[in-house]
Structure 1
Amino acid sequence: MLFLDDSKMKNFTSCFKDKEFLVFFFKRIRPNETDRYVEFPYISLCGRERNYIRCDDTPLVFTHVRPAENGPGDIFCYGHAGDLMHLPFEPDKLFMCPTTGRVYHPCEERFGSVGLVMSKLAIEISPRFSFENGENRPPTKFQWKDKLHNLDNQWYFKYRS
């Protein structure tokens, strides 16, 4: 969810909900490479306005998976804008961090290449993970649509150490 930084209450009632605005905002997110407001790692340029962004983890949060309309596979929707913003869902690229339980999926470089899976969705899909190397290590397999996927975690470690 997207909030003003100085919002005291950060919940559904105080977040931005207009889907057109969210699409506009998210399409302009990129790393903050300016010398201003370095505590905000991302920026969204909206005309002359500069929106500096900080996040608890990643600027992109995946909210739901649904079948692709044109073609095989599924899409991973993000940004709380319904189905308006999405990337291809790659079940073999899911990564669950064993220390935090957070689940990640690859995303565009401008978002930092690592997107967070919303907690509610991560909890829903967590029973589909298999831990062949023990529960203190990342999962090794993921069951999705009658197929058992071997997980490729290397992409995650490329961007996060």
Structure 2
Amino acid sequence: MELPVLVAIIVAGVSLVVLVLHVTGASAPRTLRHADDVIEALLQDYPDAMDGHVLVSADGMAGFVLLDHRKTGIVRVSGRHLATRLVNLAEVASATRDGSSVTLHFRELGWSKLTAAMRDEKEAERLRAHADPSGATVANSPEGRS
């Protein structure tokens, strides 16, 4: 088989796969729309995680479950996939807030930092206070899920 024909077949095949993925919606990015989306994703990987107050970032790309003993369940969107993590205070190097954005620095090289823009400054402060390893005031009210 000649090289130009082989290249044409490969290009046509790849184009067909891309078209099918796009038409079926498999290429659309995933978002976290509701608190239940965050809880469901976290419980799939951590079935022993208890229910807690849920915060969802403004863009729906991250969700946080504020658990007892100042543990934090984190669900992060990466394309069509979700990455989950259960973090305790010993794993957090620092938690800072700038307006409605919160940045968590972890003591792990693989996932060293996460920045999330929250819906408002109140939610941002609640997350920062819950995850802050310095022992700053914890803003943990019994409001349930948001």
TM-score for both structures, normalised by structure 2: 0.33
| Higher RCO (CA 8 Å, separation ≥ 6 residues) | 2
- The TM-score normalised by the length of structure 1 is 0.31
More helix by share: 2
**Larger Rg: 1 or 2?**
2
